[in-house]
Amino acid sequence: MKQNTSQISNPADANQITREYFDSLLIEMRHIDSVLPDTTLQLYGETFSTPVMTAALSHLNNCHPNGMVEMAKGAAAANAVMWTGMGEESELEGITATGARTIKIIKPHADNNNIYRKLEHAESCGCFAVGMDIDHAYNSRGQYDTVLGLPMTGKTLDEIKDFVKATKLPFVIKGVLSEQDTYKCLEAGVKGIVISHHHGIQNYAIPPLRILPKIVKVVDNTIPIFVDCGITNGMDVFKALALGATAVCVGRELMTSLSESGAEGVKKRIHEISDEMAGAMARTCSPDIRQIDPTVIWNR
């Protein structure tokens, strides 16, 4: 349900702004010539049952004793893509051992050698893509960030080009929220971008779905576009796909399911979100996730 703006506790909060924007988008129904929808996702030469993927989470032991590995078990059972963020090498090895097809996202560590080591390890333990979380380079005071005691720095276009060349895997940039960064990602040769404000890392950050159509035009079907932040249900997923996303990342919604029911809960929630998305596809004459007409989306 759409919130009344007067009820927002902090109008600067990017997460609340994002939720408001999701809820401001309405869906036109189309029934004549409709078909049963195909929800499969083709990504980097592999086939998945759904465009609903996990987010690049980390340190989920507060949700489950073996949090990230258990999340991976749920993703594998749902035949969905598993993303992962920070964590020990042994944890990544445990994640990929579940059979979950995994994308490893690496922080912008100040020591580039650390990044190269992590890229090499991700390849060696069977990840099918890697990437970098560029929006964690700075803190809110305009200084380089420190994450769990590890120093970060901003990365230049030339550095990103070097990271792309250092791995045989598709390289993804997470934290894109502008046309300018999109052009630079394309120049760097990345094979995917995640449109994200890192769950409100900056006040007043533009909602990912608001900038998405502009980024879609820049990309022009050359690389996959993923959307992150605030996705809680299948209607959110449908709206993102309709506006041009290839797939979406779901984080906190799956963390709740992980806490309550472990891998089985993660699998069940991915299926529920996917089913709701499919329901919207069926009622909009959308035969598959790549053929959703963006004109079905209306602004309130």
Query: Dihedral (C-alpha) 139, 144, 147, 150: value to the nearest 10 degrees?
Result: -170
What the block records as the tokens of 174 is: 């997470």
Summarised one tens digit per residue, pLDDT across range 6-23 is 455 789 999 999 999 999
Domain ranges of the chain: 36-299
Which residues have CB under 8 Å from 110's CB, separation 6+?
144, 151, 152, 153
Which residue type, as a one-letter code, is found at position 242?
A
- For the full predicted model, state whether its pTM sits above 0.85: yes
Residues 185 and 157: their CA atoms lie apart, in Å, by 8
pLDDT tens string 119-172 = 999 999 999 999 999 998 999 999 999 999 999 999 999 999 999 999 999 999
Q: What's the mean pLDDT when you consider all of the chain? A: 96
Q: What does the pLDDT read at residue 7? A: 52
Active site residues: 198
Measured between alpha carbons, how far is 157 from 96 in angstroms, rounded to an integer? 30
Tokens 């022009």 appear where? Answer: 220
Architecture of domain 36-299: Alpha-Beta Barrel (3.20)
At residue 9, the pLDDT reads 74
Nearest Cα residue to 254 out of 88, 16, 77: 77
> How far is it, in rounded angstroms, from Cα 171 to Cα 137?
18
